[in-house]
């Protein structure tokens, strides 16, 4: 396994300064860049460990705090094991912050995140990949749509609200996507029911996007997050296999 170096970094955005975590192989060489978008619980040890695992596989990974407008710890201190059933106030704190991040803000932020990767000496020249979890899957799909010249691969896992009635619903922007897309859905997920998955697939088909869409049997929303009750080891390992295969295809052929 490749040794990994992880550091905290600050990224200047159009709206302020985003704190972030950068993980990379410790060999001092440039590697393909990956932008990792968080779930709603935010920047924390679980997500840093996921960035480290990607770095150990040979990538330079940027994990930004997408809620930076609300500070470095927008919800205060979260427990090591995040169980909303044990503390119902968690979502009372999270929901307003999550809902406040607009598509236009996320587009501006993606400009800054991708610019940081382009300028970083530990990131290889060329396009990057994006992966996201829960709400991060929406950000990943939006980034692939708004930056088609920069994103070679985009993945989303247990993503929710990818299809809505809103004019700016993520599925309405997929016509701009040139990346290969992988989507791994939870089959027990009220935020992305089967009919919405079908509608998203129809939009991807109509746009001619290269994609794989799979539903993980028995998996719950959040199945990759080991610090929550939704964690599913089998589904998580399936996610890692799919993600690493996507990245290998993207960077082997780019």
Catalytic residues, which ones? Answer: 134, 189, 221
Residue 126: φ, ψ to 5°: 110, -175
The sign one gets for the Cα dihedral 160, 157, 43, 247 is: negative
Closest CA to 24 of 16, 37, 33, 15: 33
Rounded to 10 deg, the angle between the 135-146 and 103-119 helix axes is 70
Distance CA 85, CA 66 (A): 25
**Percent of the chain as helix, strand, coil, to the nearest 5:** 40, 25, 35
Task: Give the H/E segment covering residue 13.
Answer: strand 4-13
In order of 55, 90, 91, 101, the CA distances from 96 in angstroms are: 32, 11, 9, 9
Residue 151, Ramachandran bin (φ over 0: left; ψ between -120 and 50: alpha; else beta) = beta
């Amino acid at each position: 396994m490749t040794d990994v170096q992880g550091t905290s970094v600050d990224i200047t955005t159009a709206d302020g300064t985003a704190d972030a975590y950068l993980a990379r192989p410790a060999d001092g060489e440039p590697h393909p860049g990956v932008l990792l978008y968080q779930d709603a619980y935010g920047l924390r040890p679980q997500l840093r460990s996921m960035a480290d695992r990607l770095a150990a596989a040979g990538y330079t990974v940027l994990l930004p705090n997408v809620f930076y407008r609300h500070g470095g710890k927008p919800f205060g201190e979260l427990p090591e094991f995040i169980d909303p059933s044990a503390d119902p106030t968690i979502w009372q704190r999270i929901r307003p912050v999550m809902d406040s991040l607009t598509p236009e803000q996320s587009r501006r932020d993606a400009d800054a995140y991708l610019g940081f990767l382009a300028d970083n000496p530990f990131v290889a020249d060329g396009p990057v990949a994006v992966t996201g979890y829960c709400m991060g899957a929406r950000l990943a799909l939006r980034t692939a749509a708004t930056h088609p010249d920069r994103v070679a691969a985009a993945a989303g896992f247990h993503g929710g609200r990818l299809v809505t009635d809103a004019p700016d619903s993520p599925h309405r922007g997929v016509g701009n996507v040139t990346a290969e897309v992988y989507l791994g859905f939870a089959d027990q997920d009220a935020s992305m029911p089967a009919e919405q998955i079908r509608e998203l697939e129809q939009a991807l088909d109509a746009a001619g996007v290269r994609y794989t869409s799979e539903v993980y049997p028995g998996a719950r929303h959040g199945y990759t997050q080991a610090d929550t009750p939704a964690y599913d080891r089998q589904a998580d390992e399936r996610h890692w296999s799919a993600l690493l295969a996507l990245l290998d295809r993207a960077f082997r052929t780019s």
